[in-house]
With several copies, the nearest count.
Chain A
């Protein structure tokens, strides 16, 4: 299956794209997505420890199971406000 992955802030700058598509086995979890991401975009690996993921605009844990076509957002530590 494929999932769409949205990149923000430093990740967006590093990868140079707002959206990428990842190929994952059916029933893959967020944990597996993170592994795949590190394989395909080694530059991202340093960010993984502080990165959380969101699906359908909600933060999800590593055990969360993905479905075909899911929109996953990679959320670095947030720094809005002033």
Chain B
């Protein structure tokens, strides 16, 4: 289950979606809007996204996690639009036969989501606002198979 939606995120169907009879562990991560960042009081956040590509990239992160860790399933939901303090912006669930892999893979998935998924947050303070610049996504090398650049 992967989604990028403006509605409050519900963990129950996400956890249900990753549950497997052979999985003894599920790690679920909540990214939550907190009331300060870098010492500055935050009033609320506003998330923008390129939703189609964001969902595609969430799936790619899940595939990467499945390839690198002994896990049974991965799912992720990201909320967009205005979020108040304490609301959940991100849910990532990973099921695995054992807990170590569930924790490590879930942590890795969250790290990767923050690096490659085209979603942006604007912090709104009492006296202003700013789009936060996080990670510059890696761009694949230009390969011989691509059409030659026009000169």
Contact = CB atoms under 8 A, between A and B. Distances in A.
A6 B149 CA distance: 22
A75 interface: yes
Contacts of B149: 27, 29, 31, 63, 65
Interface residues of A, number: 34
Interface string B88-127: 0110000000010000000000100111111111100000
Interface string A22-65: 00011111011000000000000000001010100111111111
Interface string B71-99: 00000001000000000011000000001
B18 interface: no
A52 B139 contact: yes
A38 B135 CA distance: 22
Given A8-B118, A65-B150, A50 B133 contact: yes
Contact of A76 (B49, B116, B120, B139): B120
Contacts of B120: 8-10, 76, 78-80
Given A80-B90, A82-B90, A59 B138 contact: yes
A81 interface: yes
Task: Give the contact-size bracket for chain B.
Answer: 35 or more
B6 interface: no
B43 interface: no
A63 B78 contact: no
Given A57-B53, A82-B25, A76 B131 contact: yes
A70 B138 CA distance: 21
Interface of A: 6, 8-10, 12-13, 25-29, 31-32, 50, 52, 54, 57-65, 73, 75-82
- Across the A-B interface, give the 10 residue pairs with the lowest CB-CB distance, nearest first: A82-B31, A80-B119, A27-B150, A79-B134, A9-B120, A63-B142, A57-B53, A77-B133, A10-B131, A79-B132
